[in-house]
Amino acid sequence: MTEILLIRTGQTLNDSLNWLIFSPTEQQIIASGEIVDATQLSTLVEKARSREVIVLLPSDQVQLKTVQLPTKWSRKLEQALPYMLEEDVACDVDTLFIAIAEPTMVAEKHAIKVALTDREWFEQWLNVFAEQQIAAFTFLPDALLLPNHADNSVLRVVELNGQWLCKQGDWSIAAVETTWLAGYMSALGNPDVVHYSPAADFPDGLKLDAQTSDYDLPLALFAKQLDKVSFNLRQGPYQLKKKSTIWWEHWQKACIAAGVALVFSVAVKSFEVYQLNTELARTKADIVARYQQAFPGTRVRPHLIESQIKGELSKITDGENIGFLELTTDLVAVFEQVTAFTPETLRYDRRRNELRIRARGKDFQSFGKVKSILEQRGLIVEQGSLNNDGDFVVGEIRLRGAV
């Protein structure tokens, strides 16, 4: 993934904005700073030019909700969603923009996760970035990027600009002023707190777990969690589309030249393919002859000769390679079910009976689906770190059978 520029807005255009440049590859901060208000966004234009821009919105301006549904989520239910929310919001639902997240289950009932924000306020910030020609394809509420915890009742918090950003579970966030902490914690039932900033302001009697090794700039903490969040507020009518027309005008001559070169290359390759097919026919005949010489008395099936060779080798080596074959057999089944998952490299450790696959997927969910399928087939699966690479996600999966 290329470097990322995170920009955290204020509640109003007059509030200060925090920014940070982060390298996911090196897991380190490149630069950071603060600008006094939205009029100074022009100072970030050059920094945004060669980086992925992600805008973080204050969590007190974005409400996350989980809405129970009468049946499994569908596009038809999306049209009825505003009416389902009317009794749960204090304002006119028509003034809200409703962003759809992922379907879920609540007590064995179907539900959908949504994010609500004031439509006019949201459009105001979209226009500000558009006016500065800063292409920000992703908008997120800041507290959503607090780390997850195995116990959903635990509250994770970090302090930013005099507010405590809070997250409980994976879809409940808040921004709390220091003076409100006692009341807020009491309303939540005084849960255990994991804090990523010094927590001297919290009421006495709470169980506080200081993550001192992770004390850092809040935006750096958020940047490290980006690969674990697939949600994006910028969707539907607000989804940013690439300006392909401008791109074509700029690269038209180069594309034409490349097209001519491609046609010539195809002609050359076609001739090479003809030569290779001829050579392949000769090679197949030679393989059949050598197989009959190596295993006399056996019947040769040219279209199955690869399987025949593997079978004979398996017998000769007393099963030393069977682990690799079993693992790759399970992997082939995955390719048939998850088309948006493509391996790039395979490495096999015979001693550990472990197969390492570096792969490219359409999104984070494709890796999760692969892991689930392989685990259902009885394999031990370990998933490494996942990173965005343009329109794809790259990462590593380790498969292990019986040693």
CA 1/CA 389 separation, integer angstroms: 5
What pLDDT, in 10s, does the model give residues 15-48? 999 999 999 999 999 999 999 999 999 999 999 9
CA 289/CA 302 separation, integer angstroms: 11
Mean pLDDT, rounded, for 390-395: 85
pTM score: 0.62
DSSP state for residue 95 in the 8-state scheme: G
For residue 151, what pLDDT is reported? 96
Strand partners, 4: 22, 52
What pLDDT, in 10s, does the model give residues 204-250? 999 999 999 989 899 999 999 999 999 999 999 999 875 544 344 44
**CB burial of residue 236 (10 Å; 0-12, 13-18, 19+):** exposed
CA 179/CA 293 separation, integer angstroms: 87
**C-beta separation of 341 from 359 below 8 A:** yes
Least confident of 166-170, 197-201, 295-299: 295-299
What pLDDT, in 10s, does the model give residues 279-294? 777 777 777 777 666 5
What pLDDT, in 10s, does the model give residues 113-148? 999 999 999 999 999 999 999 999 999 999 999 999
For residue 54, what pLDDT is reported? 97
What pLDDT, in 10s, does the model give residues 322-369? 566 667 776 777 777 887 888 888 887 777 788 888 888 888 888 888
User: What are 315's two structure tokens?
Assistant: 């017998």
Residue 384 has pLDDT above 70, yes or no: yes
pLDDT band of residue 302 (cuts 50, 70, 90) is low
Which of 42, 113, 27 has the alpha carbon at shortest distance from 73?
Answer: 113
| Cα distances (Å, whole numbers) of residue 182 to 158, 176, 201, 214 | 16, 10, 9, 24
